[in-house]
Chains A and B, each alone.
Chain A
Amino acid sequence: MPGGLQPRDRPRVVLPGMIAPTEPSAGRALAVRLSNVTKTFGSHTAVDDLSLDVPAGSVYGFIGPNGSGKTTTLRMILHIFLPDRGDVEVLGGRSTRAASDRIGYLPEERGLYKKMTVRRVLAYYAALKGMNSRDTRDAIARWLAKMGLEKWADKKVETLSKGMAQKIQFVSAVIAKPRLLILDEPFSGLDPVNLEVLRAAILEQRQEGTTVIFSTHDMSMAEQMCDAIFMIYKGRKVLDGTLASIQERFGAGTIRVRSSGGVEALKGIEGVELVRDLGQVQELRCKGDAQEFLKVLTGRARVQLFEVAKPSLHDIFIRIASPSAEEVRRA
């Protein structure tokens, strides 16, 4: 990216009791840089001293509980909100407004004119991004064919199913060939078939060099698709790095078990904390020796699965954002 941002060399902020952020952007130009950004609404601080580097060409997953500041952060990147403090740099410049034509945005659900035809909506959004009408015409035809929606070009948006509308919404975000694509909950409410179509389209964007930032509550999707993951909690950054580096930090003592005794067999074993009961499988954290724990468990029940594993993103999310984790942090 000519003239692009370069990764910061100063040390990152590490919150007390939180996880030290990783360095996913080393050696690569940046698509987005947030430097000590704070945004308040009245007395509520939505985003608090947030710093973030998003490398160009990466898929960056934004996760966090509802109301944690994800959408506010995305809106600051889009220049819809201005930060109260700190700097936002996008695609090589401080004025993200100037870069707006090179940013595609898909809001969480809706975002389309119901009474307009699919073609007119797409043409309008492309025109706002500065596309000329001939390129727009070609792009609409190409994208609708790719999404299997050619026959719906001249139908009103209100006649589309939710999955179709979501795909059109995605097309409206990418039609002007953005360099940065911001997707807010892109997979929300999609059936598996449409989900796969959209996932493939997003990955194709990355292959073409587009930086993709997407927020999601679907942890498995974030694990599968993202080069790096960023988690915001109560307006502050609590995770930032590759999935592997995050799992590395949270990995110690994570065990998956399936036994004939189920969750009952685990009760009372010293040094073991049940993290998640998945029904047939239980996910545990073991503070002591895993082999000792296995011995105790085999004495109680027939063990069918015993795996020392990396924690899932879901598990990490729960560890950070669950009420009990909050209590631990306070203590």
Chain B
Amino acid sequence: MRKVWCVAWTEYCNAVRSRAFIIGLLALPVIICISVGLQYVGAKQRDISDRKFAMVDRSGELFSVVAAKVRERNARQVFERGEQGSGPQVRPAFIPERVEPGAKTDADLEAELSERVKRKELSGFIFVGTNLFETGTNVAPRFAWHAQSHTDNELADWLERTIAEEVRRVRFERAGVDRAVISRLTSVTPMRRLGLGSVDSATGKVVKAKEQNRIATMAVPVGFMVMLYMMVMSAAPGLLNTVLEEKMQKISEVLLSSVTPFQLMLGKLLGSVLLSFTLSALYMGSAVTLLLKAGMLGLIPPATFFWFVIFQVLALLMFGAIFSAVGAACSEIKDAQNLMFPVMMIVMLPYFAFMPVVQSPNSTFSVVFSLFPPATPMLMLMRISIPPGPPVWQIALGFVLTTAFTLGCVWAAGKIFRIGLLSQGQAPSFAKLVKWVLSK
């Protein structure tokens, strides 16, 4: 075991001293900061140039209303209101243009106005049909917005809201209904989403249920899964590279003159576990500190942390063994990449299934999928982090199955590792790998 720890410690030191580790360690917080910063800057630096639009109003009643609402909006929303009156411009001004259809057909108008949009004279144009105020008609009234791009929807959304509002107002008026009454009768107090109440065992007082943050409750299981996935992907694939490099550099030959192949592989796996623990201590520690400061630590069931560590070790040993075996079996990076594809598909499996599991953690789909060993570490952890969590027997079964599967992976990978490490030439086929595993 002394030699195994010697290999593990060297692997760990090599990894944490590498430039890639430092860059990788800083990458996550830096990426988050950059992302938030870009969103902030992007919001500040939005395009506030005028949005000129044409309106073909065959109803004859809506353009004047829209024009009035535009004036009102431009006066209120285009400039930030400072203490001394108007501040800097923060939103684009809308500029409507009435287009008289005359004898022209809609198709002619559409072609003509489209050309103006292409020439950048207009941001877009809107058609309003004659029968927009009518209800129960068989023919749907024309109500359409045309633009070259539909990614910037501020103007289109505003027009849709404003015209729909006016149409509803006119309809109520024509039907002789007081809109205020309708509004009062249809308004219902929004339902609150609360957790569970409890009784304080020390004081005997009832502790009222607290408000639940829907986003936060969703973020916890997803966050744990992503964190575990990151821990695995930060440490396990590196094993492929180190094993392959050692093989190509004939280092493995020197090592095998001192340790057995299994000792070598086990040392490497333990090194990757140490590396992963370092990363999770840093990231998880930061996340817990932030949650503690925000008073949101209670959102995480305490058992989740325990199972995070257990499943982290199992996932690393499982995937690390597979990656090591792939590295040992190949003699070139190109060959390793080909063998990596099916492995990556298995690693990615929980990602494909996580949404239905979060939405319905106790469905048959979630139970079955979370008991499938390659997916168990991430999906079972996810289920554990959603109160009240899965039944204990499911966690126990998942743990036993995953442990057995991991031991199987380590055993099989050990066989491939032993034979592959000293083999040269073309990468073995899948059938050959199976043969190696079954060899004595």
Contacts and interface: CB of A to CB of B under 8 A. Distances in A.
12 contacts: A80-B253, A80-B422, A81-B422, A105-B253, A105-B254, A107-B253, A110-B250, A111-B250, A111-B253, A113-B249, A128-B7, A129-B258
A109 B7 CA distance: 22
| Candidate in A79, A97, A110, A128 with the most chain B CB atoms within 10 angstroms | A128
B142 interface: no
Contact of A113 (B6, B14, B253): B14
Query: Most chain-B Cβ atoms within 10 A of its Cβ — which of A108, A112, A115, A124?
Result: A124
A172 B249 CA distance: 15
A109 B3 contact: no
Given A78-B256, A106-B254, A128-B255, 4 more contacts: A79-B257, A124-B6, A128-B3, A129-B258
A116 B422 CA distance: 23
Interface in A104-132: 105-116, 120, 124-125, 127-130
B14 A116 contact: yes
A205 B18 CA distance: 36
A276 B260 CA distance: 46
A128 B258 contact: yes
A234 interface: no
Given A81-B422, A111-B254, A116-B14, A128 B259 contact: yes
A112 B257 contact: no
B3 A110 contact: no
B292 interface: no
A75 B6 contact: no
B251 interface: yes
A111 B258 contact: no
B64 interface: no
B359 interface: no
Contacts of A58: none
Chain B contact patch, size range: 20 to 34
B10 interface: yes
Contacts of A124: 6, 10
A103 B257 contact: yes
Contact of B14 (A97, A100, A115, A127): A115
Contacts of B2: 130
A293 B82 CA distance: 119
B3 A108 contact: no
Contacts of A81: 422
Nearest to A113: B251
Contacts of A75: 253, 422
Contacts of B10: 124, 127
A108 B250 contact: yes
A101 interface: yes
Q: For chain B, what secondary structure do more than half of its interface residues adopt (helix, strand, loop), or is it mixed?
A: helix
B422 to A, nearest CB: 7
B317 to A, nearest CB: 22
Nearest to A81: B422
A110 B245 CA distance: 11
Contact of B258 (A100, A112, A116): A100
Given A100-B257, A101-B258, A116-B14, A127 B6 contact: yes
Contacts of B253: 75, 80, 105, 107, 111
A80 B417 CA distance: 13
A57 to B, nearest CB: 21
Q: Which 5 A-B pairs have the closest CB atoms?
A: A128-B258, A105-B257, A110-B250, A107-B250, A107-B253
Contacts of A107: 250, 253-254
A93 to B, nearest CB: 16
Nearest to A172: B254
Contacts of B251: 110-113
B249 A112 contact: yes
A106 B249 CA distance: 13
B436 to A, nearest CB: 12
Contacts of A80: 253, 256-257, 422
Contacts of B422: 75, 80-81
Interface string B252-281: 011111111000000000000000000000
A330 to B, nearest CB: 29
A125 B250 contact: no
A128 B250 contact: no
Nearest to A103: B257
B18 A109 contact: no
Contacts of B256: 78, 80
A114 B258 contact: no
Contacts of A103: 257
A125 B14 contact: no
Given A80-B422, A115-B18, A125 B258 contact: yes
Contacts of A128: 3, 6-7, 255, 258-259
A103 B191 CA distance: 76
A109 B259 contact: no
A129 B255 CA distance: 10
Interface string A129-172: 11000000000000000000000000000000000000000001
Contacts of A182: 257
Nearest to A130: B2
Interface in A215-244: none
Nearest to B10: A124
B16 to A, nearest CB: 13
B351 to A, nearest CB: 32
Contacts of B6: 124, 127-128
Contacts of B259: 100, 128
A108 B249 CA distance: 10
A97 B13 CA distance: 27
A78 B259 CA distance: 10
Interface string A74-99: 01001111000000000000000100
Contacts of A112: 249, 251
A259 B18 CA distance: 65
Nearest to A41: B423
B435 to A, nearest CB: 11
Contact of A114 (B249, B255, B260): B249
A109 B258 CA distance: 18
B262 to A, nearest CB: 12
